[in-house]
A and B are shown apart, each in its own frame.
Chain A
Amino acid sequence: MKNIFLVFLSLFLLAGCVQERIIDEINIEVGSAFDAIDEENFTGAFLIQDYLPDKSIKDIVYQSTASLRRDLMMNIQKQSSKEIFNGGLLITIFGNKLADTGIIDFVDTYQREPSIGARNYLATSSGSAIDIIRGEYGPQGTSNYLFNLIEHNIQRRDVPRTNLHIFLRDYYKKGKDPYLPELTKKGENELEISGISVFKEDREAYVIPQNKMFFFKLMVDKHSQGSFRVHIGKNRDADVESISSKYRLKLVGKSKEGANHVSIHIKIRGMIKEFTGKRLDQKEVNKIEKKLQKIVERECLKLLKTFQEKGVDPVGFGYLHRSKIRGFNVDNWEKDYPNLTFDVKCNVTIVETGVIE
């Protein structure tokens, strides 16, 4: 009897020991966007979802200006009827100007805050980030739309894998620069991924245009279901789909002073799903393979040269040196990088040509 009394006593004592967070009584921040106003101040917007009784989602945006992210949180709490928690964050967008001046202060908060997961996406925008988050993109809610937009482009298309963890990992890695997808508003309620922003430290230094994203992904990630259109002649086009690719970087020459050579081997396997032309025989298939090989080799090399000119290293050649050369000092990498030479070798195999001959 005495024991049972003690059990009940502890139940009453322990209940409510810590602050409770009932899901109906809090606001969950699911997306945020930041735009720079001037050197010091910025505007931030938090996206909050309200779940309506008919299972649809209403997006609410709270906006304020501040000079510290914490201040912003405090200002916005003053606007919200319920307390805002940021455990459900899915996407963060940084405006064009802000990305140019540096974003690490914002990302650092995310790293420090234990309630924010490592899987959420970061993105940049070519214009104002808040405009993007204020758009209406259908009944699933803005944050779900943005999250799914990036996710499916990573899984099936040309955006290399990215999330908060990968960004931070690359940011803190000496000899590799991080990159994020860039979003552009096309119309009132339309959006597209318009390129990949490559960062120098935490500042946006170069944007890879949309039509080069395919080649960039070939060099930094694996394609699993990509597609690419090959033009082989007049009225003859082939759509190579279900592209899976692998890449390998090989360091030739191991001098510590730089002036090394890196050869990149890319292996592509794909299927032809669409073909406009007379007949698709083995000869034609070989032609397509050769053509795609040539395009990839040329475009990748061009892209690498551009990176060198801009002084960014998203592929991580500096880190490659560190991991292959014993006692290599990555701190001098910036000086050595312009002297690096490349060659790209591509190997394309077309495995299927569809159900007809």
Chain B
Amino acid sequence: MEWIELAPRHKYGLPIATPFLPAAGTIGYSDEAWDWLDYRLLGALITHPVSWHPRSAAAPPRVVTRGTGFIIHTGLPNPGLPAVIRHHQEAWKRLKLPVIVHLIATTPEETARACETLTQVTSVAGVELGLADGTRPAQALAHLAAAQASGLPVIVRVPFRQVDDLAPALARAGADALTLTAPPRGLLPTGRGVHLRGRLFDPALLPLTLQTVAYWASRLEVPILACGGISSLEDAQACLEVGAVAVQGDALLWRDSRWLGGGQPGAPPTAPSAPESQESGVNP
């Protein structure tokens, strides 16, 4: 079996068995989607976005649909990293998947603290830094440096509108991989006299994702994970063909997981064990 290496420049690497991953925020922190999704099909688990401190949910309405897509704004509620670790680290061990914790990049200090804490969790294989829209290059590099200090493999999810500004700088600064891209921000009327500003999910984003991945895959020497508008195996394949090493599926996983194929959801996990180098090297 051929492993896909998400962090070839990292001393221990981040190998995954299949190129399909759930995007942050789509299947929860650990095994919440166990009855719904066959985890054996996933190369890794990317967790729900987590911040160091607890965050509350945004006020409703939180979702508006239009055509084939929708805008969602939840405020990324979460109980804070210490509570997430407490509640989910046992499940992470049972999943037998590399666990990549998606960290909401709030301040470099909190990023450093969170990553340092994660090095104590043996089942965590890496982190994905979720940069906020409008993050300046200097801020992005400060977050990256803070995360790298932990020694964990670091993937950075780049905001949709800032790929040109951030991706080359992050690659040069040693990001192990880049996720291109975070969902774009949009605005839609809710029908109640207010507008909802939030993340846009739509299959129509696929051409933009393909264009972005195709352009940067040949120019950057880091693995690229494609994210945005992937709604079928063919879409995923197209992303791999233009240079992505792996893909992240997002809201489609809420519609039907069976398009991924595979076995019966809820079946015991039989994903192959990670190679020794990963087992021993994730948390130096």
Q: Do A and B come from one complex?
A: no
The chain B residues found within 8 Å of chain A, CB to CB, are none
